Structure 1
Amino acid sequence: MATTSPASAFQATVPAALISAPGSGQGKSLVTAALARLHRNAGRRVQVFKFGPDYLDPMVLEVASGSPVYQLQPWMTGEDECRWRLAQAACEADLILVEGAMGLFDGTPSSADLAVLAGIPAIPVIDAWGMAQTFGALALGLARYREALQVTEVIANRVASDRHAALLAQGLPASLSLLGAIPRHEALTLPERHLGLVQAGELSDLESRLDEAAAVLEEAGLGRLPAPVNFSAPPAEPVPALLAGCRIGIARDAAFAFLYPANLDLLRAMGAELTFFSPLADSCLPDVDAVWLPGGYPELHGETLANNVAMRHALQAHHQAGKPLLAECGGLMACLTALVDGEGRQYAGFGLLPGTATLTRKLQGLGMHAWHHGGVQLRGHTFHHAVVDTALPPTWHSEKQSGTGGEAIYQQGHLLASFFHGYFPSAPSLVADIFTGRLTAS
């Protein structure tokens, strides 16, 4: 790790790589987590980032690395934030890893766009099952597709044998090398459900799984550090204390857990006092001025939430007192009169809004969105398998980054609810208006 420049800027040189793949399902999430654990176990300070708006992979990556995982997405977080977060991390870490999303060139912006923006080399993880020399052709295509992108190493995943690994290495052109050949191994898998990986907190053996996966990668030759990268950027601009003295209660448990660390950081930077509570286990709200019900899996805990009558009454009293409440995605679902899970079982919701939320097998919303209001733009995303049936008309709609259509945004009193997940640093003033009750329909 290099020494830093004066306090006016972040500047340091540290090994770094973006771990990507030709597409989803190649194993890059678990490879990234295992790499983070491998280097952490070797005594290195590892900082991992996640490209895109995903909540679930970062939970596993945080356990693997021992540090909070922040999102990097040039459109959602902004290019400047991508630069200063990486440069700040370089001043403190011995290794930076960024997990890509989908395929290396998928999306606008793509994982490759971030790698080029930050000057980070990309290391594709390629599922080699069922191929030999063709592995080299696929790797070469990824390396040559975009001239400004650095790709000099690749990782082979799900390799059948030493002979298979040798064939893969022999098939690579001279410009590419095989960083490692990972055998098929149970430690390189985690259970999934409709929104992706299960939450890290639900896996009692996650620590041992990660240690085992790290050992598999080390034996496969992946213990070498990637090339050093020079990072330099000015720090973030300070935000005004728009939430000074505001006490915000945030739901955080197995049913409500989709929280960006950057969102929490922003609320604190604006002067808010944050208190966490569990709608599953607690019988009352903390003494707060506003409540935030983030996304999660309320549909998996419908019976427990319905049976917690005391919490339902506490939330209703908070709402009836005219206090602000933000409900995102799973939070929206729980706020309705009824919630129907994937098996068709209906449970009582919190009853703050009229209507029913129903989980479906079909994906109902996916993509980057923005909400334009009051001259600012709150950026974020949507990803859900549920529909809402309500007589309440939307007050606003989000807008897709590309394409048509958006998510309904409902306002009733000082309650704001939508399937839309916001990235708070993109619009601090609007976020402050939500939590102070100053938000108006104009």
Structure 2
Amino acid sequence: MALIIAGDRSGVGKTTITLALLAYLQQQRAVVQSFKVGPDYIDPMFHRAVTGRPCRNLDPVLTSEAYVQQCFAQHTQAVDYALVEGVMGLFDGASGVADVASTAHVAKLLNLPVLLILDCARLSRSVAAIAHGYRSFDPQVYLAGVVLNRVGSDRHLTLLTEALEPLNLPILGVLRRHDDITLPDRHLGLVPTEELTQFATVRDRLATLATHSFDWPQLLPLLSLPTPHSQFPTPDSRLPIPPFPLSTPPQIAIARDRAFNFYYPENLEALQQAGAELVFWSPMEDTLPAPVSGLYLGGGFPEMFAESLAENGGAIAAVRAAVEAGLPVYAECGGLMYLSRAIVDFDGKRWPMVGCLPTEAHMGKRLTLGYRRAIAQGDTPLLKAGATVWGHEFHRSSLNAEPAQPLYQLRGYDPHSAAYDEGWQYRQVHASYVHLHWGAMPDVPARWLAKCAQFQSQHLEGHPKPAR
């Protein structure tokens, strides 16, 4: 039913090869569901652009082991194939002493075979030692075969094949160096698909590459292997979010454009499941829809579009007025930056933003990255004081002023890591660099929607719905 695409390390071509496989299967008119291990937003955008279906993140830290199993079972019920793209190297996880949140961890949770990608650009006979080590390191991980990437010549392929032959490990794909299809990247990874005007051409090239590069007679049976899902929780086992008794459904404005596009599909689905209607808008081009009962500002790349955001004074004024009126606002990372006084970009140019938070976001070279254990320091629109949630940070900006009363106390995945304060609360704003996945914590969006419903009942009942 499914196969996990793993690498011996980061940068070996996992995403390109996964997209090539997905593009080929989609070209065959198969129904394909993709997944991504870890807290990634950008790779899943590429998956969705190929398959037409939301890619689901499988992350046992942000959610739970049971949720990973339930999510996989739910979204593979009516598909022909499923493909899981791994993260970093096969055994690289949240720490250096265990495989928690690694590709191997997810493979064992789901009982799925692994296809290992090996970068052969600077290897010949040593490829066998690497493959042998990965196959034998954890006997619970089943290595179904390898893909040889960046093979230089026919002679190079012969050397690699002869080296691997004693292992009796199938070679299920071979990609040459000149086959590389480069996807543009920048400071936080690949450039999102919404900014790539020629992505349809790239997708077709990937499908053609996959047609000639993979051993499909061996691959398709692996993809079609029956997977024992009976031990996994069923979709009905999820804790439902109760609907709210309002005369009209709450309207939640979702910022979505080239500047703001980091959203887990489960977060938006949780709001809809509770009865909310989502109204998508662009802080770059539109004004804030009105009337709405809540505003969700996700992450993204506001620093790349700061000039356009700053020039849209109507949106800035409308968001500032809504915040002052007590509109419940949930802002993650890029959304936090938008609510600050200004964004100072990589060139040192200062672009004014909403300004309801007395701080500025300055872009820099330092990458802040990792899982975070967040403890709420007081009641917020999303959390009760003392509540603990797991999230992750991923940004190259920093704030030039910190809140007097921080939203969170944060620690890294290592329980012995130093604690520090982070996040802002102002009126009904909950703003933080920490990204949350609501899949395994339905009480969080439920609490926030209750605040939205309260705002609606006090301020908006009787108003017409926002224009679409």
Do the aligned partners of 2:340 and 2:355 also contact (CA within 8 Å) in 1?
Answer: yes
**Corresponding residue of 1:334:** 338
Q: Distance in 2 between matches of 1:406 and 1:156?
A: 44
Partner of 1:296: 300
Match of 1:139 among 131, 137, 140: 131
- Counterpart pick for 2:266 among 262, 265, 278: 262
| TM-score normalised over the length of structure 2 | 0.87
1:119/1:229 contact within 8 Å kept? no
Change (3 A) 1:407 1:206: farther
Match of 2:122 among 96, 111, 130: 130
Spell out, residue by residue over 1:116-162, the C-alpha distance to the aligned partner (whole angstroms, 9 max, x if none).
11000111111110111111111111111101000030001111122
Q: CA deviation at 1:312?
A: 0.6
Distance 1:64 1:368, change over 3 A: farther
Q: CA deviation at 1:367?
A: 2.9
CA displacement 1:328-358 (0-9 Å, x = unmatched): 1011111111110111111101111111100
Q: Aligned AA for 1:267?
A: L
Aligned counterpart, 2:176: 183
How far off is 1:400 after superposition? 2.5
Q: Distance in 1 between matches of 2:447 and 2:410?
A: 17
- SS of match in other structure, 1:155: strand
Unaligned runs of 5+ in 1: 1-13
Q: Pick the aligned partner of 1:163 from 136, 155, 172.
A: 155
Match of 1:68 among 54, 61, 64: 54
| Sequence identity percentage | 35
Residue from 411, 435, 440 that aligns with 1:399: 411
Q: How far apart, in 2, do the equivalents of 1:399 and 1:371 lie?
A: 9
Q: Deviations over 1:268-304 (max 9, x none)?
A: 1122211111000003334211101110100011111
Change (3 A) 1:222 1:343: farther
Q: CA deviation at 1:44?
A: 1.4
Aligned CA-pair RMSD = 1.9
Partners of 1:40 and 1:371 lie apart in 2 by 43
- Shift of the 383–99 alpha-carbon distance from structure 1 to 2, 3 Å rule, reads same
Residues 384-395 of structure 1: matches in 2 within 5 Å? 384-393=395-404, 394-395=406-407
- 1:85-115 CA deviation, whole Å, 9 max, x = no partner? 2222332111111001111100122110100
Give matches, 1:304-383, under 5 Å: 304-371=308-375, 373-374=383-384, 376-383=387-394
Instruction: Kindly report which structure 2 residues correspond to 1:177-326, keeping only aligned pairs within 5 A, or say none.
Output: 177-185=170-178, 188-223=181-216, 224-227=219-222, 228-230=225-227, 231-232=229-230, 233=232, 234-235=234-235, 236-241=237-242, 245-326=249-330
Q: Counterparts of 1:162 and 1:368 in 2: how far apart (Å)?
A: 47
Q: Distance in 1 between matches of 2:36 and 2:373?
A: 18
> Does 1:423 pair with 2:437?
yes
SS in 1 for 2:430: strand
Asked whether 1:52 is paired with 2:38, we answer yes
Select between 82-91 and 193-202 the one with higher mean Cα deviation.
82-91
Whether 1:102 aligns to 2:103 is no
Give yes or no for contact 2:369–2:392 (8 Å, CA) kept in 1.
Answer: no
Q: Distance in 1 between matches of 2:288 and 2:59?
A: 37
Equivalent in 96, 99, 103 of residue 111 of structure 1: 103
Aligned length: 425
Q: Does 1:153 align with 2:145?
A: yes
Structure 2 residue corresponding to 1:414, chosen from 407, 410, 428: 428
TM-score of the pair, normalised by structure 1: 0.91
Which AA in structure 1 matches 2:279? Answer: T
| CA distance in 2 between partners of 1:126 and 1:250 (Å) | 40
**Distance across 2 between alignment mates of 1:385 and 1:306:** 20
For structure 2, list consecutive stretches of 5 or more residues without a partner in the other structure.
94-99, 377-382, 454-468
- Tell me if structure 2 keeps the 8 A contact 1:399–1:405: yes
Greater displacement, 35-44 / 185-194: 185-194
Partners of 2:309 and 2:59 lie apart in 1 by 34
